[in-house]
């Protein structure tokens, strides 16, 4: 799963890019929009959002019915679906565990886009269910205290932190030197 301490740090951008790159490496990828508060994956891939994660979790539709295919081979997308009144409850539901099991059987990699960790509990609940977490930090905007707090909360929720992504880092001239330019 991809998360960050605060809003607008680049979670959705990172999740979408990562999903595309893995698909290009011929992994069967499922990108899930688990930001049930401010979903954006359907905009990114220009997809309808009448079906998605919420229609699967509320058993209105099956996973197969709710999946969308992108123009990119090996990349399937599960958009958020209609925004529910109880996002955290849905994410922590038994149906979520069943969905994860099914997704793991059908895909090599399942990537979750999530809301900010410090704002709501959704990311912490997912941290406990997912196999790894990437914490996105927006360079020069993310406060070190906020990032550390988010890290603490995710670890406390039994999440496995794989690493962090430093987003929007201004390239320094000398950075290029090491590429032999």
Ligand X SMILES: Nc1ncnc2c1ncn2[C@@H]1O[C@H](COP(=O)(O)OP(=O)(O)OP(=O)(O)O)[C@@H](O)[C@H]1O
- Is residue 165 packed enough to be buried (19+ CB in 10 Å), middle (13-18) or exposed (0-12)? buried
Q: Is 61 a residue that touches ligand X (CB under 6 A)?
A: no
Exactly one of 11, 56, 78, 84 binds ligand X (CB under 6 A); which one? 11
The least CB distance from residue 105 to ligand X, in Å, is 28
Q: Is 168 a residue that touches ligand X (CB under 6 A)?
A: yes
Q: Is 12 a residue that touches Mg ion (CB under 5 A)?
A: yes
Q: What are phi and psi of 107, to 5 degrees?
A: -130, 155
Question: Where does residue 8 fall: left (phi above 0), alpha (psi -120 to 50 degrees), or beta otherwise?
Answer: left
Q: Is the dihedral of CA 28, 34, 36, 42 positive or negative?
A: negative
Site mask, ligand X, residues 115-154, x = CB under 6 A? Answer: -x--------------------------------------
Contacting residues toward ligand X, per CB under 6 A: 4, 7-13, 35, 38, 40, 116, 167-168
């Amino acid at each position: 799963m991809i998360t960050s301490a605060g809003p607008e740090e680049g979670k959705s951008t990172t999740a979408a890019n990562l999903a595309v790159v893995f698909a290009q490496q011929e992994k069967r990828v499922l990108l899930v929009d688990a930001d049930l508060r401010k979903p954006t994956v359907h905009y990114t891939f220009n997809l309808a959002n009448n079906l998605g994660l919420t229609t699967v979790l509320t058993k209105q539709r099956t996973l197969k019915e709710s999946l969308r295919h992108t123009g990119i081979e090996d990349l399937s997308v599960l958009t958020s679906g209609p925004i529910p009144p109880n996002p955290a409850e849905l994410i922590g539901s038994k149906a979520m565990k069943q969905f994860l099991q099914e997704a793991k059987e059908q895909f090599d990699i399942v990537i979750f886009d999530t809301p900010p960790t410090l704002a709501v509990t959704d990311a912490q609940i997912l941290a406990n269910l997912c196999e790894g977490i990437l914490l996105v930090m927006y360079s020069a905007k993310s406060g070190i205290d906020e990032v550390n707090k988010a890290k603490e909360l995710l670890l406390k929720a039994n999440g496995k932190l794989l690493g962090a992504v430093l987003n929007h880092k201004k390239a320094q001239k000398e950075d290029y030197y090491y590429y032999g330019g």
